[in-house]
């Protein structure tokens, strides 16, 4: 079943020409045309304090995508300035996820921590120019002095201490002479500025914490605002693409590169991706992991790339989704069904069709010879003629889905019912002649007859049946566990909570349903971790990469077959 292997990702697939140009492309084209830049340089700058999520995918596709489209380069830079929350595990997972998504940073793997010495020199330069000072106020006092949006801040009593004194104290901060939190280095800008980021922001703090790369070399660490823009400058990033919440930080970044006297990158802000029925905050995702509300960062319900990969989402469908939603200047929320639509569209082309029965109901074909087995031809993928066909065994005892039988069928129900004839997919017409109930009154077995003339699915006399159902041969089928997933949260915007509750109160209690004792066709014995198939009439499924074994296969439902999004679009168009 080599056709079951999941298609590998391809970089630089031709851009969908139906997607109109976005404003960042327009800016880049202008900068190239005017000669401002000969080549563009972008970067993806994750903080290694969690796993990447679908929001990061948007940033990755944009940064690597722009570089690829315009013949430039994109760096991977870890913004690792907060030793308390950062770990090597996160660095490794981030690299794995970017590669899986189909992008390559080649030898351009950088770390803000590689620049600690240079950043220290920049800070010294600012002090020497009278543009930064060591402040002895406590964190609480600094906050009190900061003012509000309507009131100006107050200047620290240490603001005008002599340059020599600040230089000396900053050196001794580095040398470890002072306690954590006892002093900070602040930029000297404007305590009355309407932009709070310009009210003498803290540039350095004292923190005795082990860093995942620099170990115990440093006991002072640059703040994010000190490190981020300067790292962009050191790497000569031409277009520093970031999300809207950094718009108010841009004047600070511009001030810093100007005063330090270094290369000025251009920062351009775009709207972050918000997706309905899930959350994108690493802090909240970590909370779900730590509280055991999900099975780790790669739980198939998580919006993380590792979770989506395990669930069976393809890298290509995520890239297409990111391209499709384009890049905007205003925040909005994208319906998660749109992402599922892209996944379905991709899997429809590549996933082999197989038969799997989630809620098995035994069927005995009374007039089928005992011990006889036929190999019936089944088409692997009607969307892909090259996918060929396979054999599925047919015998006297089968399983069909419990939902495909109704003792007292409602109107428009065309599947099995007493006296009713249906077609078995790739097989024969069968007619239900009787059924058996257990003591609890549940139907546990159907007795049917088959018409030997209908092999292949049509009757020589031209009679028609309305329903076609899937099945497996009881003797040949494999037992499997199937995990059905629904949205992680039961409301579209779990961030909105009332009355002191928190986002976790919106967790969907039915986000995962585990079905044991499912039966799947024997060709799946060869399926390997990560392989995706379509169980005909049921949905797309992926072999779980952690819990599945050849003896006890486990399938994750990737998406159902019903494309709600396509239906919405049709409705809107019609």
Residues that bind Mg ion (CB under 5 A): 47
| Angle of CA points 263, 268, 269, to nearest 5° | 140
Selected from 85, 161, 212, 272, the binder of ligand ATP by CB under 6 A is 272
Instruction: Give DSSP secondary structure letters for 360-410.
Output: EEEEEETTSPTT--EEEEEES-TT-GGG-EEEEEE-SEEEEEGGGB-SSPP
> Is beta strand 239-243 parallel, antiparallel or unpaired with respect to 266-270?
parallel
Q: Is 282 in the site for ligand ATP (CB under 6 A)?
A: yes
Contact call for residues 494 and 301 (beta carbons, < 8 A): no
Q: How far apart are CA 222 and CA 412, in angstroms?
A: 68
Q: Which is nearer to Mg ion, 47 or 225 (CB)?
A: 47
Considering the complex, what minimum distance in angstroms separates the CB of residue 241 from Mg ion? 13
* Residue 233 contact partner, candidates ligand ATP, Mg ion, none, CB within 5 to 8 A by sort of partner: none
Q: Which is nearer to ligand ATP, 124 or 492 (CB)?
A: 492
Interface positions, 396-455, toward ligand ATP (CB under 6 A) = none
Residue 338 phi, psi (nearest 5): -70, -40
Contact call for residues 312 and 542 (beta carbons, < 8 A): yes
Selected from 12, 281, 333, 513, the binder of ligand ATP by CB under 6 A is 281
Contact call for residues 312 and 541 (beta carbons, < 8 A): yes
Q: Which is nearer to ligand ATP, 231 or 317 (CB)?
A: 231
Q: Is 43 in the site for ligand ATP (CB under 6 A)?
A: no
Selected from 9, 118, 197, 243, the binder of ligand ATP by CB under 6 A is 243
Q: Is 310 in the site for ligand ATP (CB under 6 A)?
A: no
Q: Is 56 in the site for ligand ATP (CB under 6 A)?
A: yes
Q: Is 303 in the site for ligand ATP (CB under 6 A)?
A: no
Paired residues of 551 in beta bridges: none
Q: Is 280 in the site for ligand ATP (CB under 6 A)?
A: yes
Catalytically active residues are 47, 272, 282
Contact call for residues 525 and 365 (beta carbons, < 8 A): no
Q: Is 45 in the site for ligand ATP (CB under 6 A)?
A: yes
Q: How far apart are CA 532 and CA 540, in angstroms?
A: 7
For 164, residues 6+ apart whose C-beta sits below 8 A from its C-beta are: none
Q: How far apart are CA 232 and CA 223, in angstroms?
A: 15
Within its chain, how far is the Cα of 1 from the centroid? Answer: 28
Token pair, residue 47, equals 């903080």
Q: Give residue number: closest CB to ligand ATP.
A: 55
Q: Stretches 274-282, 442-450, 473-481, 538-546: which one binds ligand ATP (CB under 6 A)?
A: 274-282
Selected from 47, 225, 235, 346, the binder of ligand ATP by CB under 6 A is 47
Q: Is 197 in the site for ligand ATP (CB under 6 A)?
A: no
Q: Which is nearer to ligand ATP, 159 or 272 (CB)?
A: 272
Considering the complex, what minimum distance in angstroms separates the CB of residue 49 from Mg ion? 8
Contact call for residues 532 and 6 (beta carbons, < 8 A): yes
DSSP-based three-state secondary structure for 558: strand
Considering the complex, what minimum distance in angstroms separates the CB of residue 47 from Mg ion? 5
HSE of 513, CA atoms in CB hemisphere, 13 A: 9
Q: Is 319 in the site for ligand ATP (CB under 6 A)?
A: no
Q: Is 55 in the site for ligand ATP (CB under 6 A)?
A: yes
Q: Stretches 273-281, 288-296, 412-420, 435-443: which one binds ligand ATP (CB under 6 A)?
A: 273-281
Q: How far apart are CA 127 and CA 359, in angstroms?
A: 72
Considering the complex, what minimum distance in angstroms separates the CB of residue 545 from ligand ATP? 24
* Residue 58 contact partner, candidates ligand ATP, Mg ion, none, CB within 5 to 8 A by sort of partner: ligand ATP
DSSP-based three-state secondary structure for 357: strand
Q: Give residue number: closest CB to Mg ion.
A: 47
Q: Is 201 in the site for ligand ATP (CB under 6 A)?
A: no
Selected from 42, 59, 278, 473, the binder of ligand ATP by CB under 6 A is 59
Contact call for residues 151 and 191 (beta carbons, < 8 A): no
Name the residues that contact ligand ATP, by CB under 6 A: 45-47, 55-56, 58-59, 242-243, 272-273, 280-282
């Amino acid at each position: 079943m080599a056709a079951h292997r999941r298609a590998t990702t391809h970089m630089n697939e031709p851009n969908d020409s139906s997607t109109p140009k976005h404003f960042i492309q327009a800016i880049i084209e202008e900068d190239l045309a005017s000669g401002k830049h000969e080549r563009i340089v972008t970067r993806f700058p994750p903080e290694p304090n969690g796993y990447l999520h679908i929001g990061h995918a948007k940033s990755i596709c944009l940064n690597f995508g722009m570089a690829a489209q315009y013949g430039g380069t994109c760096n991977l830079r870890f913004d690792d300035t907060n030793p308390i929350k950062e770990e090597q595990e996160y660095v490794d997972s981030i690299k794995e996820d970017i590669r899986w998504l189909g992008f390559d940073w080649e030898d351009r793997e950088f770390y803000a921590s590689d620049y600690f010495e240079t950043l220290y020199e920049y800070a010294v330069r600012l002090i020497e120019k009278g543009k930064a000072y060591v402040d002895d106020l406590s964190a609480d006092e600094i906050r009190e002095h900061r003012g509000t949006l309507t009131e100006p801040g107050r200047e620290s009593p240490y603001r005008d201490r002599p340059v020599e004194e600040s230089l000396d104290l900053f050196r001794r901060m580095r040398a470890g002479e002072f306690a954590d939190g006892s002093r900070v280095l602040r930029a000297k800008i404007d305590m009355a500025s309407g932009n709070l980021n310009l009210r003498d922001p803290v540039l350095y703090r004292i923190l005795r914490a082990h860093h995942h790369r620099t170990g115990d070399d440093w006991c002072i660490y640059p703040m994010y605002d000190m490190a981020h823009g300067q790292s962009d400058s050191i790497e000569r990033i031409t277009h520093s693409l970031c999300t809207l919440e950094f718009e108010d930080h841009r004047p600070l970044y511009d001030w810093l590169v100007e005063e330090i006297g270094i290369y000025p990158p251009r920062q351009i802000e775009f709207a972050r991706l918000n997706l309905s029925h899930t959350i994108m905050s690493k802090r909240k995702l970590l909370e779900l992991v730590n509280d055991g509300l999900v099975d780790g960062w790669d739980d198939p319900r998580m919006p993380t790339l590792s979770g989506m990969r395990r669930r069976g989402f393809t890298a290509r469908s995520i890239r297409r989704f990111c391209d499709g939603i384009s890049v905007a200047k205003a925040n909005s929320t994208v319906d998660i069904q749109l992402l599922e639509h892209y996944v379905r569209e991709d899997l429809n082309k590549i996933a082999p069709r197989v038969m799997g029965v989630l809620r098995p109901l035994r069927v005995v074909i009374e007039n089928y010879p005992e011990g006889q087995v036929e190999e019936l031809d089944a088409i692997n993928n009607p969307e892909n003629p090259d996918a060929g066909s396979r054999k599925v065994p047919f015998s006297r005892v089968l399983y069909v889905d419990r939902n495909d039988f109704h003792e007292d069928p409602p109107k428009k129900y065309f599947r099995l019912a007493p006296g009713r004839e249906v077609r078995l997919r790739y097989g024969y017409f069968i007619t239900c002649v009787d059924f058996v109930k257990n003591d609890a009154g549940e139907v546990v077995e159907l007795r049917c007859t088959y018409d030997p003339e209908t092999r292949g699915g049509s009757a020589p006399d031209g009679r028609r049946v309305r329903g076609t159902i899937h099945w497996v041969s009881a003797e040949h089928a494999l037992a499997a566990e199937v995990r059905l997933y629904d949205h992680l949260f039961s409301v579209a915007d779990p961030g909105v909570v009332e009355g002191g509750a928190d986002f976790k109160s919106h967790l969907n209690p039915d986000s995962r349903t585990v079905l044991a004792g499912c039966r799947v066709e024997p060709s799946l014995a060869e399926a390997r971790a990560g392989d995706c198939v379509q169980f005909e009439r049921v949905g797309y499924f992926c072999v779980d990469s952690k819990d599945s074994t050849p003896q006890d296969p486990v399938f994750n439902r990737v998406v159902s077959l019903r494309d709600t999004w396509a239906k919405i679009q049709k409705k809107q168009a019609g």
